[in-house]
Amino acid sequence: MPNNSTVTIFVLLGLTQDPQKQKLVFFIFLIFYGGTIVGNSLIMLTIKFSRTLGSPMYFFLFYLSLVDFCFSTSIAPRLLVDSLSAKKTISYNECMTQVFALHLFGCMEIFILIVMAADRYVAICKPLRYPIIMRRQVCIILTVFSWIGSFIHATAQIVLLIRLPFCGPNLIDHYCCDLQPLLKLACTDTYVVNLLLVSNSGVICSTSFLILIISYFVILYSLRNHSTEGRKKALSTCSSHILVVILMFVPCIFMYTRPPTTYPEDKMVTVFYTIGTPFLNPLIYTLRNTEVKNAMRNLWNVKMISK
């Protein structure tokens, strides 16, 4: 904690102050968080132990599920505990840690989605060179660089944030610690800091979204030369990825590409990409993916036979 801050504890106002609604919030998000943990764990275990899911696409899907697991865990447990607590307090250090985790795993998800788009581009547009271009070593290197880039992004955000003095009040009108609510509490002019934060998060979100949209447009355009069966399979895979991209990026762009102000809709928008998207991703990638469903079924059958 920096010396120029006198606030040692923040109070999270949460999604609602109504005791009855708080109980409803607890049960709803317990279901969402439980589904996120179970769904992403199943995908990771299936990819880990299945012999049929060894392609680069599933290598990256494993890390997307891992990131979703961590991303939701950095937010949901605190939300669940606070829903049943009279005092929703969080220490300064815990608050900064939550901001760091939120941006580390959020940025990692963005980078993994970009890598997955690149993988689909090579698989569809350059199928003969796919085994060479997307070999195992390349996949590992891309994943490592994604983690490094995410760490640099999260570190830059937290370094800017901890330099701000917080002298009071300490009421955060949110259910988690994030940039905009904290900037509102800083007892100094935050225009330059907000500009730097937007230049970081906002540019990453907007640029990545533009890159992904262009890449999928190129992929879909190239499908005109494929057979009907190949086009159908590629469209099924790409449509899942595009849906995930929209669910992730639209709320993030809304949150991180604007002036330092807060809106009543911010809480629900944040819920959508911190709780909703990690919950929906396993459903999108399993319900629309025959290979994953068959691999899960085979692993389950092997387990039952072994008993």
Instruction: Provide φ and ψ at 268, rounded to 5°.
Output: -70, -35
Range of the domain at 177: 9-306
Rounded mean pLDDT of 201-215? Answer: 86
Instruction: Give the pLDDT score at 26.
Output: 92
Q: How many CB atoms lie within 10 A of CB 57?
A: 21
Residue 104 contacts residue 154 (beta carbons within 8 Å) = yes
Instruction: Say yes or no to pLDDT of 38 above 80.
Output: yes
| Burial of residue 81 (number of CB atoms within 10 Å: 0-12, 13-18, 19+) | exposed
Instruction: Give the pLDDT score at 73.
Output: 94
Instruction: Say yes or no to pLDDT of 239 above 60.
Output: yes
The residue among 158, 148, 161, 176 whose CA lies nearest residue 103 is 158
Instruction: Say yes or no to pLDDT of 40 above 90.
Output: yes
Instruction: Say yes or no to pLDDT of 307 above 60.
Output: no
Domain annotation covers residue 4: no
Rounded mean pLDDT of 215-228? Answer: 78
pLDDT category of residue 302 using cuts at 50, 70 and 90: low
Q: Which residue has the higher pLDDT, 202 or 72?
A: 72
pTM assigned to the model: 0.89
Tens digit of each residue's pLDDT (9 = 90 or more) over 166-175: 887 888 888 8
- Please give the Cα distance from 80 to 103 (Å, whole number): 20
Residue 138 contacts residue 127 (beta carbons within 8 Å) = no
Domain annotation covers residue 2: no
CATH number at residue 188: 1.20.1070.10
Rounded mean pLDDT of 149-173? Answer: 89
Q: Is the peptide bond before 169 cis (omega within 30 degrees of 0)?
A: yes
Rounded mean pLDDT of 107-127? Answer: 89
Domain annotation covers residue 14: yes
- Please give the Cα distance from 246 to 258 (Å, whole number): 19
Domain annotation covers residue 197: yes
* Side chain identity, residue 47: I
- The chain-wide mean pLDDT, for the chain, equals 85
| Portion of the chain with pLDDT greater than 70, in percent | 93
Domain annotation covers residue 1: no
Question: How many domains in the chain?
Answer: 1
Domain annotation covers residue 147: yes
- Please give the Cα distance from 200 to 156 (Å, whole number): 8
* Secondary structure (DSSP) of the chain: --TT----EEEE--S---HHHHHHHHHHHHHHHHHHHHHHHHHHHHHHH-SS--SHHHHHHHHHHHHHHHHHHTTHHHHHHHHT-S--EEEHHHHHHHHHHHHHHHHHHHHHHHHHHHHHHHHHH-TTTHHHHT-HHHHHHHHHHHHHHHHHHHHHHHHHHHTS---S--EESSSS--HHHHHHH-SS--HHHHHHHIIIIIHHHHHHHHHHHHHHHHHHHHGGGS-HHHHHHHHHHHHHHHHHHHHHHHHHHHHHSS-S---TTHHHHHHIIIIIHHHHHHHHHHHT-HHHHHHHHHHHHHHHHH-
pLDDT category of residue 150 using cuts at 50, 70 and 90: very high
Domain annotation covers residue 47: yes
Instruction: Give the pLDDT score at 16.
Output: 83
- Please give the Cα distance from 70 to 112 (Å, whole number): 14
